[in-house]
Each structure stands twice: as C-alpha cells, then as structure tokens.
Amino acid sequence: MSTPIDLTALKQRQMAAWASGDYAVIGTTLQIVGEQLAEACDLLCDENVLDVAAGNGNATLAAARRGCHVTSTDYVGALLERGEDRAKAEHLEVTFQVADAEALPFADASFDAVLSTFGVMFTPDQAKAASELARVCRPGGRIGLANWTPEGFVGQMFKTLGRHVPPPSGAQPPSQWGTEAWLHTHFDQRDFLLQVTRRTFNFRYRSAAHFIDVFRNWYGPAHKAFAALPPEGAKALETDLTELLNRMNRAGNKSLVVPSEYLEVVITRR
C-alpha cells in the first residue's frame, strides 16, 4: 500500500521553487495568453475579476486594461510585487493579495470572472483548487484558464525534468489540467458549461542553448532541477532538453521557435 503524499510538504517545496530564480523574466513573454483569455471570457468594464496563482500578472493586467476591478493573488509575494510594478507603470488600479489557490480568502460567489494562466494547474491538491475556483465564481460568471497540455512542449519539458529529478511519489502532474477529461470530471458535477479551445504559444529564443540558459537561471522548476543535480547529471539534463528543443524547433538553423500547445478554457457557471 502506497504512503499518502504529504501535500503540505509538497506545497512548501513548490513555493520554494517558484520563489527561486525570477519567473517574471519568462512570464512577461506570455502576456499574449492573458490578453487572449480576457477576450475569450468577454470581460466587461466594472466586473469583479480574481486572478488566481497570478504570478507576475499577465491575466491581471489584461483584465485591468479592460476596466475590470481586479484582485491579483499568488502564494509567492515576490511574484505579486513584479505584477504590482507592472500595474503601477500603466497606472492601473489593482488589488494585490497573497493567497493560496487551495484556500481562497473570499466569500462564495464573490467574482464575475476567475482567471488563471499557467498558475492554478501547479497546485498540489488539484481537486481542492478546482473546488475553490468554482466556489468564488458567481452564478452566470466565468472561470477562464490557460493550461499546458501533456502532449505540448511544456508538458514534455516537465516530463524531461521529472526523469532527472523525479517528483514525490503520488504527486499529480500539473498537465492533467490540460486534458478535457480532467476538466469535465471536476467541473461538470458543479453544473458548469465548458468551452475548450486548443491554442499554441510560441517560445522564441536565439537557440536551444539560449532557452536553457534563461530557464536554468530564472524559471523556478528548471532552476531547482539543475541545482539539485551533480555536474554530470546537470549535463545530462541539458543534453535531453537540447534534443527536445531542437526536435520541436520550427525555425531551422536561424533561430529557435518552439510551439507549445495549451488549452484555453472558459467555464461558465449556470
């Protein structure tokens, strides 16, 4: 019989990973995803919007640019500070609050729209996080998600990292959120209507070596994986990531353009 996973310990480990490096270096390149999600959710001026696991605030800024009243949350305060800097630069009014996606400190049915771009999918207790998203969304409101798929590049990158630094036994892969079956399992029973669109984000770097250098230094999970390995292990991980990147590169020898599939999800509460 397998030992139940310690979700509290896993969360602490994940918080340390996301707090390391500087996710904003990568996060800002994903801004278009937040803009597209805001349009998919048809956000209206003066709606109350919650961004969950907001990171450096891509969906936050997209909603605020559309005149929404936005509360931006994450369990890593340093990431919220980067989002706050961006909001101030654009003179956008946003409330920033440290909060755990698995225990949102808001009343039931508090928000017209609840968003998360590549954030809530990384929670340790995935069922609890899905329940919290549903709880704070008002009847007639929308939950908007952008989730990497298992088959896409980021899903494959995490599988590669996992081969070299295995996750704790029993940990659920974040890419489950990028499958329609998982989404239906966790939202259909709550009387939500799902609309799923497959989209592609293109990672654009000079080369595989350039991508690995940026992610190794600034992307928490990759930063921690490389740091956990001895020199020969880190070299083997670099080799495997280089092979993956070059195999998926559609720019040939002149540059690196790697398409990564994700699900754009709009879940309407009936």
Question: Can you give the pLDDT of all 270 residues of the chain as single tens digits?
Answer: 455 678 888 888 887 888 887 899 999 999 999 999 999 999 999 999 999 999 999 999 999 999 999 999 999 999 999 999 999 999 999 999 999 999 999 999 999 999 999 999 999 999 999 999 999 999 999 999 999 999 999 999 999 999 999 998 888 999 999 999 999 999 987 789 999 999 999 999 999 999 999 999 999 999 999 999 999 999 999 999 999 999 999 999 999 999 999 999 999 999
Find the angle CA(50)-CA(53)-CA(57) to the nearest 5 degrees: 75
Residue with tokens 């509290």: 8
Task: Please name the residues in contact with 42: beta carbons below 8 A apart, sequence gap of 6 or more.
Answer: 142
Provide the whole-model pTM. Answer: 0.95
Q: Give the pLDDT score at 203.
A: 98
- The CATH homologous superfamily to which domain 7-155+168-202+261-269 belongs is Vaccinia Virus protein VP39 (3.40.50.150)
Q: Give the pLDDT score at 139.
A: 96
Q: Give the pLDDT score at 2.
A: 52
Contact 62, 34 (CB under 8 A): yes
Residue 254 corresponds to which amino acid? Answer: K
Q: Where exactly are the structural domains of the chain?
A: 7-155+168-202+261-269
